Amino acid sequence: MSTTGTVEVSATLDLADAVDLEAALRSGAQALADLGSTETLDERRSQALGEMGRHQLALDLEFSETTGGTGRGVTLHVHLDAAAAARPGFVDNTWSPVLLEQVRQWCETAGTKVTVRPVIDLNTNPVTEAYRPTEAIREQVRLRDGTCVFPGCHRRHVDLDHIVPFDAGGPTSVENLAMLCRRHHRAKTHGHWSYRVVEPGLYEWTSPTGITYLVDRRRRRP
């Protein structure tokens, strides 16, 4: 990609604002792809940012009490140690450090909706007898994988794939499910690609020609 006629933009944001921006860019880039764009992901993200700039030329500060602003629509998975409140925790979405005071400020921001949910232990392997995973299983797989686990793919519009097929005895469990976008789900089903779990979050793919690739989605605390 030529850099002629481009400019590099960088910014330091509040972490929650950065997550909001990332979600908006991801959604915009995906919308362009769905409309038929063949540009690279980075090019589509830059185009999405330009569209955001053209459509938000000024802050809408004259909202009424009934609207209360747009608020945040992004879910943050924040891990904090209640026994050591002064120590930084971390945000699972970005694996960035965060202080309890910053989380408190986010929760007090007008228009922000706060939902308290049970802690998910990513070391567990919940199972259901049904073919379709429960919502708790879906959330745990998404927290672990983040995006499609095919080599080099980072799409977030995905299916949850049974690594060992359900009709071949594969369980509907966190360790036997992985995130695959529709294209790479088809590549596994019809394109002679295969993969296996080396350990939870670490996948070994084998191409139709026998070449192997490792995809590592294991999370490590900073």
Q: pLDDT tens digits for 123-176?
A: 789 999 999 999 989 989 988 898 999 999 988 889 999 999 999 999 999 999
Residue 39: what pLDDT?
A: 87
**70 or 214, higher pLDDT:** 214
- The pTM of this model reads 0.57
Give the CA dihedral 126, 129, 135, 141, nearest 10 degrees.
Answer: 50
**HSE (side-chain half, CA atoms, 13 Å) at 7:** 4
Q: Which of 39, 12, 16 is nearest to 28 (CA)?
A: 39
In the chain, the percentage of residues whose pLDDT exceeds 70 is 73
Residue 208: what pLDDT?
A: 94
Q: pLDDT tens digits for 5-59?
A: 667 888 887 766 777 788 888 888 888 888 888 888 888 888 888 888 777 655 5
Q: Rounded to whole angstroms, how far apart are CA atoms 55 and 82?
A: 42
